[in-house]
Amino acid sequence: MDNESTLQHETTLEHALDVAKANHKEALRLLERARDAHKTGDVSDDRVRQLESLLAVAEEDLRRVTREQ
């Protein structure tokens, strides 16, 4: 790990929590955009389901990291 990220995070778990939160936020953003695009026919049902699955994984990861804190 480089010095900059060591300075920003006191522990590896703090870093993992920051990453999990960012991943969850991004998965949610992507899903919301896909759902909007699906309404206009620009995104397929399959893509929406893929992003729903991605969000579920991100949520589980966030829960796991939060428990480990």
pLDDT tens for 45-68 read 999 999 999 999 999 999 999 998
- What integer pLDDT is reported at residue 9 of this predicted model? 57
* Average of per-residue pLDDT values in the chain: 90
Residue 6's pLDDT is what? 45
Contacts of 25 (CB under 8 A, 6+ apart): none
Asked if residue 69 has pLDDT above 90, the reply is no
Q: Can you read off the two tokens belonging to residue 32?
A: 């919301």
pLDDT bin (cut points 50, 70, 90) of residue 11 is: confident
| Size (the chain), residues | 69
* 36 vs 10, higher pLDDT: 36
